[in-house]
């Protein structure tokens, strides 16, 4: 999903987005976050040996709503990212509750992927960073066929192609806004 989202939010022409195939579990790291971030840095630098590394994005689902704890978790991870990735800009895609809550910011994209899918009007007006278990919510209310996590990249791609992905979409999700603000602060690529 981020392979579609990052270029849409990146200032200027976005270079290639390369995903790390092996997941690094940040949530379980607690006191051992720095070594895991160093693994990510090594991966990024290894892929940039013949190109310029313009930034590092890390995605993690918070599995909780955006509240005071969200602020603490985000601040802690972002500080350690800045310390580890000193030479590179970084952005933390810390999705509250899950990244599906970010997809819900772009309701026009859902019927592009499955014609029968429509988000409820009430969902388009709510604070999506406070919506718990967004995957299950989409499964229950989206329609047929049932939503699956595997649909997420196609939905984001449809949102980008439709021109709906901007830093400040109509809907409300603080965790998305925090991520978009970080990406927009990166230097413009040529």
pLDDT digits (tens, 9 = 90+) for 55-102: 999 998 888 899 999 999 899 899 999 999 999 999 999 999 999 999
Distance CA 56, CA 41 (A): 8
Lookup: tokens for 167:
């830093």
Question: What does the pLDDT read at residue 27?
Answer: 58
Distance CA 169, CA 173 (A): 9
pTM of the predicted model over 0.75? yes
pLDDT digits (tens, 9 = 90+) for 35-56: 889 989 988 888 877 778 889 9
Neighbouring CB atoms inside 10 A of 3's CB total 14
- Among 76, 92, 105, which Cα is nearest to 164's? 105
């Amino acid at each position: 999903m981020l392979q579609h989202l990052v270029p849409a939010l990146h200032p200027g022409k976005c270079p290639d987005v390369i995903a790390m195939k092996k997941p690094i579990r940040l949530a379980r790291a607690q006191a051992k976050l720095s070594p895991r971030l160093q693994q990510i840095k090594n991966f990024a630098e290894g892929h940039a040996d013949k190109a310029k590394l313009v930034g590092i994005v890390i995605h993690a689902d918070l599995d909780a709503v955006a509240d005071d704890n969200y602020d603490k978790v985000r601040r802690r991870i972002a500080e350690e990212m800045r310390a580890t990735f000193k030479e590179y800009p970084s952005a933390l895609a810390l999705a509250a509750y899950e990244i599906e809550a970010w997809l819900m910011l772009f309701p026009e994209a859902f019927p592009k992927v499955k014609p029968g899918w429509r988000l409820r009007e009430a969902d388009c007006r709510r604070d999506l960073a406070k919506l718990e278990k967004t995957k299950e919510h989409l499964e229950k209310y989206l329609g047929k066929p049932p939503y699956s996590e595997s649909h997420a990249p196609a939905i984001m791609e449809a949102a980008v192609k439709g021109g709906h992905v901007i830093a400040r979409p109509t809907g409300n999700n603080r965790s998305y806004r925090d991520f978009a603000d970080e990406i927009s602060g990166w230097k413009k690529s040529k």
